[in-house]
């Protein structure tokens, strides 16, 4: 299991501001982990998810499991389960529960393949959905959804091949947009992970300095000439898919020239790029 963020997860709750740190805002929940990765074995693979209610009122939650893929816009698309999809093998308990304010619930899962898993990746999506209470249902005349959180589950069997082709990596200056075209030729998902930085022309200190700053920016002096920086959206590219990923940068208006640098990895391979 990993405590990682998958960009295709959907969590509809109010944002947390620094001023709200002492008291969680109404409507917030906490779920851990945010994603599950595991190795499929001949015996059942068991695990758990914990959800905490930080709201000031009770919540009622139902748990559902689906097979999924990503569409051309890199959005989650639910699809029917099949013999080799993880949703067919995943047992969940409980499938519905209520939580009092401040309460927590452990949701246990067990993966028991009904057929021999093919080598590579098998996926499922666990959705935790809050439903209206009986009073709200009567007043609205139906079921209302307050939040829906999707947790991706990746199960790996046999030999993993994380191979891919970076077809292009470009930067469009008029729109301040990074564009990545990536083809996954392996049998497990891959992604471009890393950071970008914008520098005043002639001030880029090199990728080593950039990496050191991006790894531990808190308390470190900003390198001279750095205008802005951030992390790339690490959208997963599923096996057999070719996808285009765009990253819109917010660059402060200025008449000064600048360069954009990218430092990242794809499947363990380093990616370094400078756009003048």
Average of pLDDT values for 110-131?
Answer: 95
Which segments of the chain belong to CATH 2.60.40.10?
Answer: 18-157, 164-275
The predicted pLDDT at position 136 comes to: 53
- pLDDT single digits (tens) 198-255: 999 999 999 999 999 998 877 778 899 999 999 998 899 999 999 999 999 999 988 8
What is the residue-averaged pLDDT of the chain?
87
Provide the pLDDT confidence category of residue 20 given band limits of 50, 70 and 90. very low
Write phi, then psi, for 21 (nearest 5 degrees). Answer: -60, -35
**Alpha helix ranges (H) inside the chain:** 134-140, 207-215
**156/160 Cα distance (integer angstroms):** 7
pTM exceeds 0.85: no
CATH number for the region 164-275 comes to 2.60.40.10
Report the CATH superfamily, name and number, of domain 18-157: Immunoglobulins (2.60.40.10)
Most confident range (mean pLDDT) of 3-12, 21-30, 62-71, 129-138 is 62-71
| Helix and strand numbers, DSSP H then E, in the chain | 2, 17
């Amino acid at each position: 299991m990993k405590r990682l963020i998958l960009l295709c997860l959907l969590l509809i709750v109010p944002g947390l501001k620094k001023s709200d740190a002492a008291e969680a805002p109404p409507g917030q929940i906490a779920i851990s982990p945010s994603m599950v990765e595991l190795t499929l074995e001949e015996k059942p693979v068991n695990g758990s998810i914990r959800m905490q209610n930080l709201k000031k009122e009770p919540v009622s939650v139902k748990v559902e499991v689906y097979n999924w893929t990503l569409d051309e816009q890199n959005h989650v698309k639910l699809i029917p389960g099949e013999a080799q999809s993880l949703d067919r093998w995943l047992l969940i308990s409980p499938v519905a529960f209520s939580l009092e304010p401040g309460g927590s619930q452990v949701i246990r899962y067990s993966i028991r393949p009904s057929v021999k898993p093919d080598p590579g990746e098998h996926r499922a999506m666990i959705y935790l959905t809050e439903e209206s209470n009986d009073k709200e249902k009567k007043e609205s005349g139906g079921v209302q959804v307050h939040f829906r959180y999707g947790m991706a589950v990746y199960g790996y069997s046999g030999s993993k091949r994380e191979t891919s082709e970076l077809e292009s990596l470009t930067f469009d200056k008029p729109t301040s947009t990074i564009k990545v075209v990536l083809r996954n030729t392996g049998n497990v998902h891959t992604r471009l992970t890393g950071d970008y930085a914008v520098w005043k022309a002639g001030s880029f200190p090199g990728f080593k300095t950039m990496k050191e700053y991006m790894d531990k920016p808190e308390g470190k002096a900003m390198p001279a000439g750095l205008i802005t920086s951030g992390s790339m959206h690490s959208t997963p590219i599923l096996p057999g898919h070719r996808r285009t990923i765009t990253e819109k940068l917010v660059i402060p208006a200025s008449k000064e020239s600048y360069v954009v640098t990218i430092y990242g990895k794809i499947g363990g391979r380093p990616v370094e790029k400078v756009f003048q």
